[in-house]
Amino acid sequence: MNGLLLTSLALPLLGFLLIFLTDRNEKKIATISFWCSHVMGLSIIALLIVWALAGFPNHEYEWFTLYETGDYSFPILFYLDRIGAVYLFCVWAIFSIIVKYCRVYLHRESGYKRFFLTIFGFVFGLNLVILSGSIDILFAGWEIVGIASFLLIAFYRHRAQPVRNALRAYTIYRFCDIGLLLGAWMSHLLFHESQHFSQLADLFNNPAMPPAGYASLLLVSTLILIAASGKSAQFPFCFWLPRAMEGPTPSSAIFYGALSVHLGVFLLLRTTPIWSYYYSTRFSVFMIGLLTVIVASISEKTQSNIKGQIAYASITQVGFMFMELALGLESLVLIHFLGNAFLRCYQLLVSPSIVAHLLRVEGSADSDFYIRNHSRFEFLPVSLRNTLPEVLQNTLYVFSLQEGNLELLVRSVLWNPLKRIGATINALNIWLKLLYALGSFALVGLIIVAASINTKYLSIPISVLMVLASLSAFSQKHSPFKVWNAIGLSAILAGVAVWFLNPAAWFDVVIFASGIIPAWILGIVVLAKLLKNDNFSESPFAYRAMAETQPKLSLLLFLSFLGLVGFPISPAFLGEDLLLSHASNHAPWFALPITVAFVINGIAAARVFQRLCMGSPTELNIMTEELDTKVALSIKIPKHHTA
């Protein structure tokens, strides 16, 4: 069983590597995709058969220990139970359908190879999430799924709207990482060596003696719920999923109709013993699902495109799953998941030919079939519509058109305050910033000398500077170099702060820095080459399309971006977990600023990559001409004199 489990995980990664190493020949890519997907399917079916013959056990397998020191251990741990079996079967079935569909659907598409690379990376991350035995391994797969989503939404990178929506979705993903990162930190803090999924249920067997206090369990449950709500586009994050449909139809089917949108449900299923222990958190899950059902079902009726309607329909069904989970109906949730996943996959795959599909339905009905054109008030059921005043009907219609103004709410509560703080920091003179930094260190030094305070308190001003550097990168739009340097400075300050907290942790800090510093230096070198003949400050909002004009340098910048944000291909990923572990042991308060800094750094780095590497090659010229025209009009001289 263990060999089949590893094979099921390794085959998508093998397919990714083989496609990466081959040329752009469609026939070769299609052949590799066909065989890898089918062999993966055979291994999954064999795994499930062996698991069933063994009596459906909760099977845990520790492959090896990646790193261990003192009380800290990072095992590569896998776990298979009925929840994982259902999700794994669904992944195999839908992925095999998508691969067969895409071999024809994307014929002669310029991004044919890029698409198959991304979906194989996505399936590897998804299998890693499903078979993860601890929240640390789950987070690794979670990150892979997130970056694959970002790339697939922006697949048509020559258009501005898909690129903007990709960053919007990635921003929500990164915000949810706060919940998952802090949830992992709290699981280490509360459950110590029992944070494996296989051990969670045993911790909560005795109702009279919970493994932690009410406040602690409420906090970790809230963090888990934030991560699950964002990933599954639940209230108040409903707005991003319809916009994520900008990618190719097959990617919409596999990601947002069938598999990725249900990962929040999977997270709740895996962590049920934690958040279901108290009725207050059960009630929160139920209310989030109920509010999502209300907002999404109303917004669906006013969508002007079929993919938007399917997106909101899928969000609505996931909302019902949240309600079912709150009521303890786990088996019903698994059945509901399978039905919704296959239905939405089918609907999205037929959406490009919806007219032909309706004609086939008319033919099979053997009777007259009419497609009625709904008036603007007919999105409500007739019985409800007739009982509402006209003013309320109009209000609901505007509410549904604006999708509840949820995006405006999230933006005003989360991002705008951070941007304002970052803009204030960037407006300060560089010498004033340096003076403030030196002054804060001098003040803390005087306090230490005067009161003989432990040097770990130096981590307080350093953590403040770390967050300020991240906010500066988040709000900086006129210089990619300043963004990259601010991100690198923030990461280095995080390591320094942990070193002050615990000087014995110097080797763990070195592991973290061994991933951050090379990625930072590589990014600076690549940026210097990419912007050698480009004045970014004159038109910072134009997309440079370097992925088409400088593909090799763009790939290096992408790898640098992944390393800088602690993606699971870099030692920085393990280093982040080590830093959070030291925070939990020596200064629990430090977990919040370091997590916020990591999340903001990821968004800022993604925006730099997006602006430089995506867009149309001609867009920069158009933007430059428009800028020249505006300058010419403002000073009232002919345009040809503005060179």
Looking at the fold, whether 328 and 394 belong to one and the same domain comes out as no
Looking at the fold, whether 297 and 380 belong to one and the same domain comes out as no
In one-letter notation, the amino acid at residue 315 is: I
Give CA 600 to chain center in angstroms: 13
Q: What SS3 string covers 53-64? A: HCCCCCEEEEEE
Cα gap 514→209, rounded to integer Å: 43
Q: In the prediction, which pLDDT does 448 show? A: 56
**Tens of pLDDT along 136-171?**
899 999 999 999 989 988 898 888 888 888 998 899
pLDDT at 597 over 80: yes
Q: 């989970």: which residue's tokens?
A: 325
Cα gap 437→469, rounded to integer Å: 11
pLDDT at 183 over 70: yes
Q: How many CB atoms lie within 10 A of CB 182?
A: 24
Q: In the prediction, which pLDDT does 273 show? A: 87
Helix/strand/coil for 211 = coil
More confident position, 616 or 578: 578
**Tens of pLDDT along 371-404?**
554 444 444 445 455 677 777 777 777 777 777 7
**Tens of pLDDT along 494-520?**
988 888 888 888 898 999 999 999 999
Cα gap 547→606, rounded to integer Å: 14
Average pLDDT, integer, range 441-460: 62
Looking at the fold, whether 382 and 312 belong to one and the same domain comes out as no
Radius of gyration of the chain (CA): 26
Average pLDDT, integer, range 229-250: 86
Q: In the prediction, which pLDDT does 323 show? A: 96
Residue 421 belongs to what H/E stretch?
Answer: helix 416-427
Average pLDDT, integer, range 416-429: 85
Looking at the fold, whether 499 and 544 belong to one and the same domain comes out as yes
pLDDT at 122 over 80: yes
Cα gap 230→241, rounded to integer Å: 10
Domain that includes residue 376, residue range: 372-400
- Residue 625 binned pLDDT confidence (cut-offs 50, 70, 90): very low
Helix/strand/coil for 70 = coil
Looking at the fold, whether 278 and 184 belong to one and the same domain comes out as yes
Cα gap 409→424, rounded to integer Å: 22
- Residue 431 binned pLDDT confidence (cut-offs 50, 70, 90): low
Is residue 445 included in any domain, yes or no?
yes
Is residue 365 included in any domain, yes or no?
no
pLDDT at 8 over 70: yes
DSSP letter for each residue of 488-524: HHHHHHHHHHHHHH-GGGHHHHHHHHHHHHHHHHHHH
Looking at the fold, whether 118 and 78 belong to one and the same domain comes out as yes
Strands 72-80 and 59-69: antiparallel
Average pLDDT, integer, range 341-358: 78
DSSP letter for each residue of 437-492: HHHHHHHHHHHHHHHT--GGGGHHHHHHHHHHHHHHHHH--S-HHHHHHHHHHHHH
Number of domains in the chain: 3
**Stated length of the chain:** 643
288 touches 231 (CB < 8 A): no
Q: What SS3 string covers 261-311? A: HHHHHHHHHHCHHHHCCCHHHHHHHHHHHHHHHHHHHHHHCCCCCHHHHHH
Is residue 364 included in any domain, yes or no?
no
Looking at the fold, whether 154 and 247 belong to one and the same domain comes out as yes
Q: In the prediction, which pLDDT does 369 show? A: 57
Mean pLDDT of the chain: 83
Is residue 314 included in any domain, yes or no?
yes
Looking at the fold, whether 513 and 395 belong to one and the same domain comes out as no
Both tokens assigned to 320? 């019902």
Average pLDDT, integer, range 167-196: 81
- In the chain, the largest separation of any two C-alpha atoms, in whole Å, equals 91
Is residue 135 included in any domain, yes or no?
yes
Looking at the fold, whether 122 and 266 belong to one and the same domain comes out as yes
**Tens of pLDDT along 37-68?**
999 999 999 999 999 999 999 999 999 888 88
Looking at the fold, whether 256 and 204 belong to one and the same domain comes out as yes
Query: Buried b vs exposed e over 91-115: b needs ≥16 C-beta within 10 Å?
Result: bbbbbbbbbbbbbeebeeeebbbbb
Looking at the fold, whether 387 and 300 belong to one and the same domain comes out as no
Is residue 119 included in any domain, yes or no?
yes
Nearest to 607 by CA among 470, 428, 421, 411: 470
Looking at the fold, whether 396 and 415 belong to one and the same domain comes out as no
**Tens of pLDDT along 544-585?**
888 888 889 999 999 999 999 888 888 999 888 888 887 777
Question: Quick one: DSSP state of residue 614?
Answer: -
Nearest to 267 by CA among 191, 176, 202: 176
pTM for the full predicted model = 0.88
Is residue 367 included in any domain, yes or no?
no
